[in-house]
Amino acid sequence: MFLRLLQVNKFATLNGGSETVAATISRGMSEQGHDVLLVGFSKANQELIPGSLSLGPELQRPWVPFCEPALVERIVSIARDFRPDAILHHNIYHHFPMAQLVESLDRRISVPQSLLVHDHKPVCAVYSGMRKGQPCHECRGDRFWKAIRHRCKDENFLWSLLLGMDSMWNAKLRGVYSRFHRVISPSRYLAALLEGIGNGRHIEWLVNPGPEVKEGAAIRDGIAFVGRFTHDKGVPLLLRMVERFPEIRFVAVGDGEMRPALEELARNSPNLELHGWESREGVSDILAGVKWTFVPSLAVENNPMVILEAFSRGTPVLGSDFGGIPELLADRKGVLFDPQDIESALKIMDQCLRESDEIRGERSRLCRQWAVEHEERFYIRRLVELVS
C-alpha cells in the first residue's frame, strides 16, 4: 500500500522525543516508498528535520490554543497542495488551536486524521501526570478544572488557568478526541489512562520505533545517563551514585539547569565524564560501550527513547518504577527501583553492579532480541495500517 502522509507537530526541528519519532517516521516511510511531509514550527539553532516544512517561530499568544485562523488556514493550504491520504498529529495541543485545526482539516481535506500521543495531555491539563512529585490522574474524565484549583503548572495560577482552559475548551467543549480516526499510545500504561476519551473510544498501542540493532562493544565499562540535566529526570540520584561508587565510570550526556552541579562534581570526581548533547549515532555508540543505562526519572515517563536506543545495542537498563518504564524492563531486560527512596535505590544499584558477566550477558541478549522484534521497519508497516 502506497501512502501520502502529512505529519503535524509542534516543531519540525529536532527538539525532543516527539520530534525524534516524527523524524523516524518520515525517514522510515520514505525508505519504504511512501511520501511524507512534516509540518511544524522551527527553533533557532536547531536543525530542520529532512522532509519537513517550517511554519516559522512558535506563536507566543495566549489565545492560540483556542483560535488562530491564519495558522489554521496556512496548514489547510499546505495540506491541499500536498494532497495527503492521511494525517498524523503529534504534539499539537496548546501550540495550535487543536479543535479548530482538526475540524477545518476534516471539513476541507476529508482524510483520516490520527493522533500519536507522546504525553499525558489528553488526561492531564499540564501534560506531566504528576502533582507535587507524585503521579496524579485527577483530570481524567474531563475534570481539567482540578489543574486550575491545584495550580499544577509550577504552582502558578495564570499558567494553570491557561492550560486548564485549553483542555476544557478543546477536549470537553469541542470534543476533539472523538474526531480522530485513531488515537495511538506508545505504552500500555498510557493507553490504559487514555481509554475512554473522545466518547469512549479504544486506544491503539504501538511502541515507538526502535533504532537499527547493532553489536555492543566487546568490553563494556560503566553506566550512562542520557537526557535533560534536571531534577525531574533524576539528576540528584545520579549525583549520589557518582559519589557512592567512586570505582564505577559514569557518563552523563545532555544539558539542563543542573549542569553546574554536575560540572562541580566532575571537577572532583574522575569517575564522571560529562558530555553535551550528542547526535543519535553518538548516543548509540556511548550506550554500546557501557554495562548499564541509567533512567532515574522522577517524572512519569511514557516510552523513553533512550531505553529503546539502549536495547538496540544490547544494554540493559536501571530504571524508575514509574509510568511506562516497567513494561519495557520486563523479562529481565532491566532492573526497577523507586527513585524517591534513594537509599533503597543505591542498594539495588550495588546489587546490579555485582552481577556476574553471565547474568549481564543474558540480559544483553534479551534486550537485543526485543529490539529486533521492534525495529523501525515493523513499526512503519503497522503504523501505515493504523492511519490509513
The tens digit of pLDDT for each residue in 161-216 reads: 999 999 999 999 999 999 999 999 999 999 999 998 988 889 999 999 888 899 88
Q: What per-residue confidence (pLDDT) applies to 336?
A: 96
Cell, residue 213:
540493532
**For the domain bounded by 4-209+375-387, which CATH number is listed?**
3.40.50.2000
pLDDT (mean) for 279-286 = 90
Q: Sort 62 into a burial class: Cβ within 10 Å, 0-12 / 13-18 / 19+.
A: exposed
Of 185, 212, 222, the C-alpha closest to 301 is 185
Task: Tell me the β-bridge partners of 224.
Answer: 251, 293
End-to-end CA distance of the chain: 9
> Residue 159: which pLDDT band, with cuts at 50, 70 and 90?
very high
Task: Select the more confidently predicted residue: 4 or 44.
Answer: 4
> Residue 43: which pLDDT band, with cuts at 50, 70 and 90?
confident
pLDDT of 110 > 90? The answer is: yes
The H-assigned helical ranges of 97-170 are 98-108, 145-149, 157-167
pLDDT of 372 > 90? The answer is: yes
SS3 label, residue 30: helix
Q: What per-residue confidence (pLDDT) applies to 17?
A: 80
pLDDT of 37 > 90? The answer is: yes
Cell, residue 115:
493522533
Question: CA 111, 112, 115, 116 torsion: positive or negative?
Answer: negative
Global pTM value: 0.91
pLDDT (mean) for 145-160 = 94
Q: What per-residue confidence (pLDDT) applies to 23?
A: 93
Contact residues for 204 (Cβ-Cβ < 8 A; gap 6+) = 182, 183, 184, 185, 191, 386
| Alpha carbons 229 and 236: distance in angstroms, whole number | 9
> Residue 134: which pLDDT band, with cuts at 50, 70 and 90?
confident
**Residue 87 CA from chain centroid, whole number:** 20
Name the superfamily (CATH) of residues 223-373. Glycogen Phosphorylase B; (3.40.50.2000)
pLDDT of 108 > 90? The answer is: yes
Q: For the segment 21-31, what is each residue's pLDDT rounded down to a tens digit? A: 999 999 999 99
pLDDT of 20 > 90? The answer is: no
pLDDT (mean) for 280-306 = 93
Of 286, 214, 298, the C-alpha closest to 250 is 286
Q: For the segment 321-340, what is each residue's pLDDT rounded down to a tens digit? A: 989 999 999 999 999 999 99
| Alpha carbons 268 and 253: distance in angstroms, whole number | 18
Cell, residue 143:
475534570
Q: What per-residue confidence (pLDDT) applies to 198?
A: 86
The C-alpha cell 511506562 sits at 324
Contact residues for 282 (Cβ-Cβ < 8 A; gap 6+) = none
From-to residues of CATH 3.40.50.2000 in the chain: 4-209+375-387, 223-373
Task: Select the more confidently predicted residue: 258 or 14.
Answer: 258
pLDDT of 278 > 90? The answer is: no
DSSP string of 211-245, one letter each residue: PPP----SS--SEEEEEE-SGGGTHHHHHHHHHH-
Q: What per-residue confidence (pLDDT) applies to 1?
A: 79
| Alpha carbons 292 and 290: distance in angstroms, whole number | 6
